[in-house]
Chains A and B, each alone.
Chain A
Amino acid sequence: MTDLIDRTANPEPAAVTPKSRRRGIIMRFNLLFIFIALFVVASVSAPQFLTTQNMANLLQQSSLTGIVAIGMTVVILTSGIDLSVGSVAALSGMLVAIFIGVGLPWPVAMALAIGSGLVLGGVMGGLSAYLVLPAFMVTLAGMQSIRGMTYLTTNGTPTTAEIPMGLRFLGAGSVAGIPVVGIIFVATTLIVGFVLRRTTFGEHIYAVGSNAQAARLSGLPVQRITTAAYVICGGLAALTGVLLTARLTIGQPTANTGLELDAIAAVVLGGTSLFGGKGGVLGTFIAVLLLSVLRNLFNLLGLSSFFQMLVTGLILIAALIMNYLIDRQSKSAA
């Protein structure tokens, strides 16, 4: 942790040019460094840590939050926020079970469930973008009402379904010892990362998050771009819900409570600015793994989840301080 602060406080006296880029790398590198350090500590202090079984578990656990966090990164890059992801995931988890229960083929059921996430994301993002309503409030309202909708689907009881093999495989299967959800998480990160860094749409996301007014006056379809970010986030949240139901073979209306906070924490820890325009999915990816390794380590050491909460909070504060220091440095250089 001291390394994290020292590095930012004493940046190497470099020429102006690559400094900002190098700073960005230092920022990511720091997180990666902490991650590796934690990994080493975990391997040494808990012999079961480095087993294949535990690694698979770890990936399995982190992937669901991770997929949501990737979607959340896109929304936060536009300087928005989506508090409804947990509810959207729960609803879609219920829907997929119900659809399969009434005899729909699983790919159709899955598509419909994910479609519900896309639509809900579009509605909330659209309200926020076109009517200029604060995203915080719109998605808070969404979080409440979608959770309500979820309970209403079965009047609050869990619904069991014969999950077909194909869907079971997506949620709980593994390929060469690697959980399929882990592969989905990595693929999601790569695809979204590519879209953000290598497409016009990605450039537009950063522009809107950086200065929406300047983006509008540059002729960008700001409202459409913002809405699209929420559609992506809603879709990925719904995908998570489907995968969870596939693994548990049961649709739980109470599932994924608090998921939004885990996702936001990972995004911020990953270095994406809550004010938008800065950051990316790579940081989020590492942050998700870091938080799971931490949780895993505490479990293996038999320490209570109370410690886990405390340390997670402290890490977040440290990450925020790091971002603040980096920001101050780049501002005074201007």
Chain B
Amino acid sequence: MLTMTDIVKTFPGTRACNGASLQVAAGEVHCLLGENGAGKSTMMKILSGSYTADSGTITLGGTPMTFASPIDGVRAGINTIYQELDLVPDLTVAQNLFLGHEPRRGPFVHRRERDERAAAAITRVGGTFSPTAVVGELSVSDQQLTAIAKALTTDARIVVMDEPSATLTDHDLAAVFRVIRELTAAGRSVIYISHRLDEVKEIGDRATVMRDGATVGVFDIASVTKEQLVESMIGRAVQARPPRRHNPGSGPLLHVRRAAIPGVIDISDITVGRGEIVGLAGLGGAGRSTLLATIFGDRKADLDMTLGEEHIVALTPRTAVGLGIGLVPEDRKRQGLFLEQSILRNAAIAALKPWRVNPMARAREVCHSPLSRLGVKFASVDQPVGQLSGGNQQKVVLAKWMARGIDLLLLDEPTRGLDIGAKADLFEQVHALADAGVGVLMASSELSELTENCNRIWVLHEGRNIAEYQPLTTPSADIARCIVTGRTKYAND
């Protein structure tokens, strides 16, 4: 149905695509795999018309196509759901879904019809929010569902999903998979980009693997192992995972006796010891991010906690940083980085002492070590951080706190959109920090990530911390059940 052949696309300084090819059949879920920077997103932007390829051909249903702009892509029946959600935050869900093709009666928008059709589209993707809700006020997960519903309101022949699961909870993902199956059953094709091979195995029919801008393999997913896919992606055999840590922590660090925001969260008695990594699991909206934001002073709450010797009932991000707390926020571009500023500035900003002359000279040395230990790939520390890949950007956010020196590290979805290599680099340093006595509290919607890295896992449900698990002694399935149902095994008995 779709064939992209010998695609070349060069940007100043880099060649993003170098003879890449992709063939997608009608009615299949075709997975596009590769590490960050392998050229997947560039290929999809060429397909959608956002970029124009330097050379190469695209044929759709046997007809050669040239896309000069995203409109051409949409007209040809290609609809892309980007990683960066292209929704208008101040408009309602219904307004967003039909932006540009509103149901009309004469010159007027037919509001009722729009709301009804929007409600149907939301239900179809498994959402439970109202079509008249303002998009900016929805959770990230619901926003992602809105973006998917939007792609379905146009009659697309090919739907491109760029890492939808990065922001979705497992529960929402199930609904999205159901939609994908409906689409393919109707003869549509889905191009699915993800770093999570479990999903790829579950939903995909075939996979194209890209590396360094070129296509290195096409696999039939039913007959390939995850290890083979990874090997193809990174170009070498996968090393066995380092053994899980059993560091029980060395003395108390953080004790959140109470953190409550009426109607949002009601948390009691969560502790993090020095050198301990504690996980926060839960569905989207369960309160994980809100709890982290509360501990960091970014959300006002009824708070009662102890950090080291300090008894805290109210704080701001500024005082939190002063107390030795660092937060790696959920949305690194909006909350974590100064995109057009240099890598050095980004890494150094929290470590600069006030009223100093020429603080950057010293910062250059202070930041060198964390940046190199994290394996940030850059040409120069004076390069704008926005030019880095997502994984390297996230490493810079972590480097900021390593350069500053902290006692408590809060991680909110730290591996969102990261490839396998970048994840490993990141966790290696998180473990190194823990070994040095830093307490870590980490929220993640990937349960495997929590069970592999945490000493203990708290499950949050509807704003409450309902159960604590030891991943070494509890089967993941039990934790997963608790996350979804909000009931512990014992409560059922």
Chain A interface residues (CB < 8 Å from chain B): 11, 13-21, 198-201, 203-204, 206-207, 210-211, 213-221, 277-278, 329-334
Contacts and interface: CB of A to CB of B under 8 A. Distances in A.
A46 B352 CA distance: 51
B106 interface: no
Contacts of A204: 349, 352
A200 B11 CA distance: 35
B81 to A, nearest CB: 21
Contacts, number: 120
Given A16-B13, A16-B14, 17 more contacts: A13-B13, A15-B379, A16-B379, A19-B12, A199-B355, A199-B356, A206-B338, A210-B339, A211-B337, A214-B338, A217-B335, A218-B317, A218-B400, A219-B321, A219-B350, A220-B318, A220-B350
A219 B334 contact: no
B360 to A, nearest CB: 7
B380 A17 contact: yes
A198 B358 CA distance: 4
Most chain-B CB neighbours within 10 Å: which of A13, A217, A334? A217
A20 B335 contact: no
A17 B344 CA distance: 13
Interface stretch (B67-75, B186-194, B383-391): B383-391
B318 A221 contact: yes
B14 A199 contact: no
Nearest to B298: A217
Contacts of A20: 382-384, 387
Interface of A is mostly: helix
B341 interface: yes
B42 to A, nearest CB: 11
Given A19-B13, A330-B384, A217 B336 contact: yes
A214 B335 contact: yes
Contacts of B357: 198-199
A17 B382 contact: yes
Given A17-B382, A20-B384, A199-B359, A206 B13 contact: no
Interface in B317-364: 317-318, 320-322, 327, 329, 334-341, 345, 348-350, 352-360
Contacts of B320: 219
Closest 10 A/B residue pairs (Cβ) = A219-B321, A16-B13, A17-B379, A210-B338, A17-B380, A16-B379, A334-B387, A200-B352, A218-B350, A200-B359
Contact of A203 (B296, B359, B383, B400): B359
B38 to A, nearest CB: 16
Counting chain A CB atoms within 10 Å of each CB, the highest count among B298, B318, B348 belongs to B318
A19 B296 CA distance: 37
A78 to B, nearest CB: 13
Contacts of A278: 340
A177 B296 CA distance: 58
Given A201-B355, A219-B321, A334-B386, A210 B350 contact: no
B473 to A, nearest CB: 36
A211 B332 CA distance: 11
A206 B384 CA distance: 13
21 contacts: A13-B13, A17-B379, A18-B380, A18-B382, A20-B382, A20-B387, A198-B360, A199-B355, A206-B341, A206-B345, A207-B349, A210-B339, A217-B329, A217-B335, A219-B321, A220-B350, A333-B11, A333-B13, A333-B14, A334-B384, A334-B386
Interface string B443-463: 000000000000000000000
A154 B89 CA distance: 50
A333 B387 contact: yes
